[in-house]
Amino acid sequence: MSVDEQIRETDGAVVSTTLGKLRGVSRNGVEIFRGIPYAAPPTGDRRFRAPAPAAGWSGIREAKAWPESCPQERRFDTGLLRWYRSAMTENEDCLYLNVFTPAPDGKKRPVMVWYHGGAFATGAGTAPGFEGSALARRGDVVVVTVNHRLNVFGYFHPGPDADDNFADSANAGMLDLVASLEWVRDNIAAFGGDPDSVTIFGESGGGGKVGRLLHMPAAKGLFHRAILQSSGLRSATPEQGSKAAAHLLEQFGWTPAEAAKLRDVPSDKLLAARLKTVDALGFDPFEPIPDGHNLPEAPFSEGAPEISAGIPIMIGTCNNEAYYLLIEQKGAFEMTREDAVGRIQALNNLEKAAAEEIYTLYDQKTPGNKPVDVYADVLTDQRFRMNSLRCARLKAEQGTAPAYLYRFTWNSPAQGGKYRAIHTIEVPFVFGTMDTATELVGTGPELGPLCDKVMGAWIAFARTGDPNAPGLPQWDPYDGETCGTMLLDIEPTFVQDPPGPELQALAGNGIRASLSRTV
């Protein structure tokens, strides 16, 4: 927060919730309430368990300070993505949310609940780019951002040999999100929001959280629209989760039957053990796992979820997502054609001829690309776009609520235009926080008009379940024949965009999003 913003911040309104009274701050026409507890601290004996109700308080609780985020590793701390991360301190006592509202006046405004990215391992709802004031003010909506359990604290699956207190540990972080939505249901009217008009939205891992909430019985009825931004929706299996848990426990000399001893391990040592397990396995299985009850199945594995059949979705990707995976790899941007083919072959366990075919098709798609650009296009489709197309198709086939597909195609001028429409680039335009992300989006007169179009579409969808908004051409729901897609750019266009031969080649070789951290 800048000095000017601090000067403009004054004591805000007092709001009564089911747990007690809160006083936030008032800034630039928005009332902000920070660090509101929506569940009890998941510490001590409550580690690995489903969230418990938060305790109430007497008097007025000050809701002026940002809450701490879940303990986590630090990844991708380049300037390009620093805006996406929180500078807050970390603590297992992290089950808090923040509310941004034009006024706590009883008016029934649409509610937008944001779940941050960072896979299921890192991140925080308090990152600078997720400050919800501009979105709340422009859309006359109530914005909620959420911190919750991550990595081993939120997703630990020791299997049937552990005691009954681990029955919910594989999806404790997802149950935190359900608890946050229950808080919204019970309290958001006091902040000027409508509990019967709730949109959940998230990007990257946040989109994965949204995708899983669409499948969770406990979340049914708690939200009414969903936006999935740049989500891979890959999923670890119960077997992979149990293998990871066993490896982590072995570092302490324990078996899964002794998993309860982990409740006494300091959080920094538990996090360090998790990272050793991830490095040893070569992928990160500490994420939501289909457990048969809290999360009955992997998201969109067999079809669009019946439990949320009536909920409209908006789903999409950025045009050049995968550059973020290559930013810190030494020499990645100097790779040769042979290097790129070798990476495609190794990542997907292909014959060289198949990898050559895929490279050639992608090279022909965009003549003049460098090998790194071709490889990034392959990764973008494999890890993000194929999933979005699949989810949109399955939702359209279900036929009970629309799916709207987009692709963010604006090329950032920052960094000499090197990263084009990279992963996360649409987020500051959704929140109107471009000033926090200048290393990613640059500066210039075109940012404001682009923000108006993007933010306008998200607000329209949250308000009506239809993203058509001023400044956009007609945006029709997706269907499997025309594959209508909104290309979000300075001049947005709506196109028919069926999968080309390059995507067909990926699918024909059985290529799907990989859990591997190697790219």
413 contacts 322 by C-beta, under 8 angstroms: no
Task: List the helix and strand counts (H, then E) for the chain.
Answer: 17, 13
List alpha helices for 329-446, DSSP H. 337-348, 352-365, 371-380, 386-398, 427-431, 438-441
Q: What is the pLDDT of residue 366?
A: 87
Q: Which CATH superfamily is domain 3-311 in?
A: Alpha/Beta hydrolase fold, catalytic domain (3.40.50.1820)
Give CA–CA dist 244/217, Å, rounded: 26
Which residues are part of the catalytic machinery?
Answer: 204, 321, 423
Q: What is the pLDDT of residue 78?
A: 64
Give CA–CA dist 385/319, Å, rounded: 9
What tens-digit pLDDT sequence spans the chain (519 residues)? 443 444 578 999 999 999 999 999 999 999 999 999 999 999 999 999 999 999 999 999 999 999 999 999 876 556 677 888 776 789 999 999 999 999 999 899 999 999 999 999 999 999 999 999 999 999 999 999 999 999 999 999 999 999 889 999 999 999 999 999 999 999 999 999 999 999 999 999 999 999 999 999 999 999 999 999 998 787 889 999 999 999 999 999 999 999 999 999 999 999 999 999 999 998 899 999 999 899 999 889 888 999 999 999 999 999 999 999 898 888 999 999 999 999 999 988 899 999 999 999 999 998 889 999 999 999 999 999 999 999 999 999 999 999 999 999 999 999 899 899 999 999 999 999 999 999 999 999 999 999 999 999 999 999 999 999 999 999 999 998 899 999 999 999 999 999 899 999 998 888 776 655 566
471 contacts 452 by C-beta, under 8 angstroms: yes
Name the nearest CA neighbour of 63 among 111, 28, 96: 96
Residue 312 carries which side chain, given as an amino acid letter?
A: P
Residues 6+ apart with CB under 8 A from 423: 204, 230, 318, 321, 322, 323, 324, 325, 384
Helix (H) or strand (E) holding 227: strand 225-229
484 contacts 496 by C-beta, under 8 angstroms: yes
Return the SS3 of 105.
coil
Give CA–CA dist 73/84, Å, rounded: 14
The pTM for the full model equals: 0.95
The DSSP result for 9-30, as a single string, is -EEEEEEE-SS-EEEEEEETTE
**Termini Cα distance of the chain:** 35
296 contacts 210 by C-beta, under 8 angstroms: no
Domain pair 3-311 / 316-508, same fold: yes
CATH for the stretch 316-508: 3.40.50.1820
Return the exposure string of 336-375: e unless at least 16 CB atoms fall within 10 Å of the residue's CB, then b.
eeeebbbbbbebbebeeebbbbbbebbbeeeeeeebbbbb
**What are the structural domain ranges in the chain?**
3-311, 316-508
Q: What is the pLDDT of residue 44?
A: 95
Give CA–CA dist 67/86, Å, rounded: 10
CB atoms near residue 138 (< 10 Å): 16
Give CA–CA dist 46/349, Å, rounded: 42
Q: What is the pLDDT of residue 8?
A: 79
Give CA–CA dist 459/211, Å, rounded: 20
Please give the distance of CA 340 from its chain centroid, rounded to a whole number.
Answer: 28
Instruction: Return the DSSP state at 240.
Output: H
Q: What is the pLDDT of residue 3?
A: 39
234 contacts 290 by C-beta, under 8 angstroms: no
Q: What is the pLDDT of residue 114?
A: 98
Q: What is the pLDDT of residue 256?
A: 96
